[in-house]
Amino acid sequence: MFRELLTRITDAAKIAGAMVVRRAREAIKPKSALGGLIADLTRTREELEAENASLRQQVILLSRSTKSPDIKPIDRVVLVLASAFTAHGATPSWS
C-alpha cells in the first residue's frame, strides 16, 4: 500500500515537472512580428509601462561602466517565469 502511494506521488511529481518545463518553453518561445504587433495594439497603457520599466532596468543593468554583476542562470529563469505571469509576457532580450 505504501509503495503504491509512493508510486502515485512520484508519477504526479513527474507530470507536474513536465508541465512546468512545457510552460517555461512556451513563455520563452519567440512570437511572430505580426502577432507581436497585434498583441501590442491590444495592451493597456499600464502593461506597456510595466514592460518599459522592466526593459529600462535591463538596459541599466547591462550598460553599467563598473563591473557588471553576474547574472546567474537561475536569475534568468526567474525573470522569464515572472514575465510569463504578466498578461502578454515580454521575453527578456538576453534569451
Q: Residues of the chain with pLDDT > 90: what percent?
A: 1
Contact residues for 79 (Cβ-Cβ < 8 A; gap 6+): 92
Q: Which of 26, 33, 80 is nearest to 58 (CA)?
A: 80
Counts for the chain of helices (H) and strands (E), in that order: 4, 0
The pLDDT score that the predictor gives to residue 85 is 72
93 pLDDT exceeds 70?
A: no
Mean per-residue pLDDT for 90-95?
Answer: 50
Domain-wise residue ranges, the chain:
2-84
In this predicted model, what pLDDT tens digit does every residue of 8-42 receive, in sequence order?
899 999 898 888 888 877 776 767 778 777 777 88
The pLDDT score that the predictor gives to residue 95 is 47
Contact residues for 37 (Cβ-Cβ < 8 A; gap 6+): none
